[in-house]
Chain A
Amino acid sequence: MTAGELADHFDVTKPTMSAHFTVLLSAGLIEADKQGRTITYRLRMSVLEDAVLGFADTLGIDLKPKSTTS
């Protein structure tokens, strides 16, 4: 999906999304392809990561970290 399409799914600004993309890119979890002015992001998941995600989905386990708010 392109950066714009991804940003439309979340209630955050595009610069914030861009910062998140940078973190995910440096972690090697996504790949970016720039074509003209459009950047397309793709998921880079190993078989093990795919399996863990699928397993968690099947069992209904939420893998997102709980946000700590004071």
Chain B
Amino acid sequence: MNAAPPPLARAKKIPRRDVFIALAFLAVASALSLFASDYFELSQRILGIMAGLMVAFYANAVPKALKPLAKLKNPARYEALQRFIGWCLVLGGLGYAIVWITVPFAYVIPVGIALLGSSLALAVGRCFWVRRLP
């Protein structure tokens, strides 16, 4: 006879707001593919703008997610890093949305990815740089 599996760790509750945002995104994508299949470029632009705004929305809260002081060697440095990461990703997300509004369609994907990728690379690079500090 097999032993009973250990109880699952209590999962962190997902906020309703986040579920709603995800469902709204999927609903818009589905609606566009069903009813706007003749307007491919417009559909892609709408989804690109929504994706950029979503990145900016979630990155906005990054500086607010503070770790307990007891777990930090240098709280000021940690919080400055959180702020930097938040700013990078918010500006990257907003820039991505603006790219989808303004850039000609032939170039929008490489330009958008370059912009968002750069902001992410900057944030990650800063993390590694801070880790090397004494």
Contacts and interface: CB of A to CB of B under 8 A. Distances in A.
Contacts, number: 35
Nearest to B59: A47
Interface in A22-55: 28, 31, 33, 35, 40, 42, 44-48, 50
A35 B66 contact: no
Nearest to A30: B66
Contacts of A50: 63, 83, 87
B64 A44 contact: yes
B69 A48 contact: no
Contacts of B75: 42
Q: Is the interface of B mostly helix, strand, loop or mixed?
A: helix
A35 B100 CA distance: 48
A28 B61 CA distance: 12
Nearest to B91: A47
B86 interface: yes
B68 A33 contact: yes
What 3 A-B pairs are tightest by C-beta distance, nearest first?
Answer: A33-B69, A47-B86, A47-B90
Given A47-B83, A48-B60, 6 more contacts: A33-B70, A40-B69, A42-B66, A42-B79, A45-B63, A47-B87
Interface of A: 28, 31, 33, 35, 40, 42, 44-48, 50
29 contacts: A33-B69, A33-B70, A35-B69, A35-B70, A40-B69, A42-B66, A42-B69, A42-B75, A42-B79, A44-B63, A44-B66, A45-B63, A45-B64, A46-B60, A46-B61, A46-B64, A46-B86, A47-B59, A47-B60, A47-B62, A47-B63, A47-B83, A47-B86, A47-B90, A48-B60, A48-B90, A50-B63, A50-B83, A50-B87
